[in-house]
Amino acid sequence: GIQVEQSPPDLILQEGANSTLRCNFSDSVNNLQWFHQNPWGQLINLFYIPSGTKQNGRLSATTVATERYSLLYISSSQTTDSGVYFCAGQFYSGYALNFGKGTSLLVTP
């Protein structure tokens, strides 16, 4: 079946460090999104990025659709960046967003 795989599963950073989260998907996508799930459980939209590169402040994302992967960059991390980061792909065969298992990020002071 269609798979979305994220790495690493867990990440601990010191405040100020940079990181790269990776998302591999097994089929072509017509929608690729990154989310941050905060400690209260809310899913916050970070990027809608089926292809190309986008930046929003300290965060940026790149999707290379032909090679079936997406990257999320976090620069100068802050403790408020802690939480779980999900990528989710919507494939041409269906309408559901297929979520990866997430990367759990802890940023320490």
- Pull the structure tokens for residue 103: 């990367």
Cα separations in angstroms, 98 against 23, 55, 60, 95: 12, 23, 21, 9
Q: How far apart are CA 3 and CA 26, in angstroms?
A: 5
Assess 33 for contact with another protein (CB under 8 A): yes
Nearest to another protein of 77, 86 (CB atom): 86
Q: Is 86 in the site for another protein (CB under 8 A)?
A: yes
Instruction: Provide the phi-psi class of 68: left if phi over 0, else alpha when psi is between -120 and 50, else beta.
Output: left
Neighbours of 28 (CB within 10 A): 13
Least distance CB 55 / another protein (angstroms) = 17
Examine residue 42 and tell whether it contacts another protein (CB under 8 A): yes
What 8-state DSSP symbol labels residue 27? S
Task: Report the residue from 62, 82, 90, 104 that binds another protein according to the rule CB under 8 A.
Answer: 90
97 near another protein, rule: CB under 8 A: yes
User: Which DSSP letter does residue 77 get?
Assistant: -
Task: Identify which of residues 13 and 46 has a Cβ nearer to another protein in the complex.
Answer: 46
Among 100, 103, 105, 107, contact with another protein (rule: CB under 8 A): 100
User: Per CB under 8 A, does 41 bind another protein?
Assistant: yes
Residue 31 in the binding site for another protein (CB under 8 A):
yes
